Structure 1
């Protein structure tokens, strides 16, 4: 079981990574990183090596002025996650878990049923599958915040089930593809910080992810 400090730290990390992965890069988010001196204020939860390397890359990126950095980030974001063309790091889970690499496959339906069962609402920007890495991290963040309030083990159990069954089976591969495909230290760093978060939660919650065949 995570203590209150760990819950708050993991919740904050998951929330930041949700914004970094799901939304197009903006001067507002970059300003938040700089104002909060992210390289020194990032919580110490998560796998240490990936966290350290990720923060170093993020700090390197943030040294550039926005007028130089933002166009590069928007291009990187588009090539990684949006297209057109083949995406370098598909952010939805289903293509990793379906032999035909389909969006909205059985794993998407299973995650939707999981959310419905637990009364979880997932808000998307457009009509799109809800098994997006960023969206799933937003759910994890919300559950950890709920656990910090209630402290009864219920929400953290749901978060553990979400990770074990729906996110960890493909999350590591996504992070690997993102790190390899990113052309900027910023997104290379975000990939490593996401790796750190997922590996840390797996260890600290003593989770055993489902072993599923991957097709990406």
Structure 2
């Protein structure tokens, strides 16, 4: 390898690192949008940065373009001043989605995956194991369980921001396949159809489109095709637990040959 080749490699590495950090920032923005009701400061930031056209990953799929244009229109048509009435309307919609579940669009994976539609089920503990493997834990799982949308997005953002994220791509892909992407589209579709404001409809649709396109990009980068929904479902089936049963013989009877 000559000096020119080494400089090119360094340049490529810098570009990859820069892009991954941009993705991490994008995901942190989605975390903020889903984590709490919007205040004037957040809404002003969305307007000033031209969200969502400010995202580091530019969506090119049909669904991505539709979601981007829809959310851009939402931001462009926000009022010039955010009075209490407008903020209260957004706060009420946020509560219906994320707090009191009036829309039946839970941000928790367990509710979508569990047959009984209950919280804090197997999915939550599976996700918790992922966090623990990277030395992470939910701040308070009773308030925000491990399988909450916010924490899953935050976890993926973390994996894109740590050292040598290229080595994490297969892990990110597996986590997205086995957890986030198994239910995110259903969540987004229900929010889009039932929310009272276009603001939260746009956020939900854009988040789902972004994550799908990000997963497609990982598949191209790693040269590993995405598994089908059926393959994921089969992979996630509970494994039978084998138990050793001690042999006991009836008196006078030996084992069959």
* Global fold match (TM > 0.5): yes
Q: 1:7 to 1:109 in 2, by over 3 A?
A: same
Contact 1:24 1:77 in 2 (8 A): yes
Contact 2:103 2:195 in 1 (8 A): no
**How many angstroms apart in 1 are the aligned matches of 2:210 and 2:145?**
23
Residue 13 (structure 1) aligned with residue 26 (structure 2):
yes
Q: Secondary structure of 1:86's match?
A: coil
In the alignment, structure 2 segments of 5+ residues that lack a partner are 1-14, 220-225, 235-257
Match of 1:25 in 2: 38
Match of 1:123 in 2: 139
Match of 2:240 in 1: none
Aligned counterpart for 2:88 among listed residues 51, 71, 94: 71
**Superposition CA RMSD, Å:** 2.4
- State how many pairs are aligned: 207
Greater CA radius of gyration, 1 or 2? Answer: 2
Give per-residue Cα distances to partners, 1:25-65, cap 9 Å, x unaligned.
222211221232325423343333322222222332x2352
**How many angstroms apart in 2 are the aligned matches of 1:164 and 1:202?**
8
Q: 1:3 to 1:56 in 2, by over 3 A?
A: farther
**How many angstroms apart in 2 are the aligned matches of 1:50 and 1:104?**
31
Residue 208 (structure 1) aligned with residue 221 (structure 2):
no
Residue 42 (structure 1) aligned with residue 58 (structure 2):
no
Match of 2:161 in 1: 145
Q: Normalising by structure 2, what TM-score? A: 0.72
Q: Normalising by structure 1, what TM-score? A: 0.84
Match of 1:56 in 2: 73
In the alignment, structure 1 segments of 5+ residues that lack a partner are none
Match of 1:190 in 2: 203
**How many angstroms apart in 2 are the aligned matches of 1:157 and 1:137?**
16
Contact 2:103 2:191 in 1 (8 A): no
